[in-house]
Amino acid sequence: MLGLLACSALIAACGDPAPSGGTGPDGNGDGGASAREVVLVTYDSFALPEAAARSFTERTGATIRVVASGDAGAVLTKALLAAGAPEGDVLFGVDSSLATRVLAEDLLEPFQPAAVGQVPDPLRLPGELGELLTPVDTGEVCVLADAGWFAARSLPVPATLESLTDPAYRDLLVVQSPVTSSPGLTFLVGTVARSGDGWPGYWQALRDNGVRVRPSWDDAYNVDYTVSGGDRPLVVSYASSPPAEVVFSEGARSEPASVVIQDTCVQQVEYAGVLRGAPEPELARQLVEFMLSPEWQSELPLTNFVFPVVPGTPLPVEFERFAVRPAAPQQVPPDRIGEEREAWIEQWRTILE
Ranges of each domain in the chain: 12-139+268-314, 140-267+323-352
Can you state the angle between helices 199-208 and 334-352, rounded to 10 degrees? Answer: 40
- DSSP assignment, residue 255? S
Look at residue 70 in the predicted model and tell me its pLDDT. 83
Look at residue 15 in the predicted model and tell me its pLDDT. 34
Reduced to 3 states (helix: H, G, I; strand: E, B; else coil), residue 117 is helix
Cα(175)–Cα(155) distance, integer angstroms: 21
Chain-centroid distance, C-alpha 91: 13
Cα(318)–Cα(308) distance, integer angstroms: 14
Q: What is the CA radius of gyration of the chain?
A: 20
Look at residue 252 in the predicted model and tell me its pLDDT. 86
Look at residue 185 in the predicted model and tell me its pLDDT. 95
H or E segment and range at residue 261? strand 258-275
Look at residue 8 in the predicted model and tell me its pLDDT. 35
Cα(114)–Cα(120) distance, integer angstroms: 14
The parts of the chain modelled with pLDDT lower than 70 are 1-34
The fold of 12-139+268-314 is: D-Maltodextrin-Binding Protein; domain 2 (3.40.190)
CATH class given for the domain over 140-267+323-352: alpha beta
Look at residue 129 in the predicted model and tell me its pLDDT. 96
Cα(107)–Cα(33) distance, integer angstroms: 30
Question: How are the residues of the chain apportioned to helix, strand and coil, as percentages rounded to the nearest 5?
Answer: 40, 20, 40
Instruction: Indicate the pairing of strand 108-109 with strand 134-146.
Output: unpaired
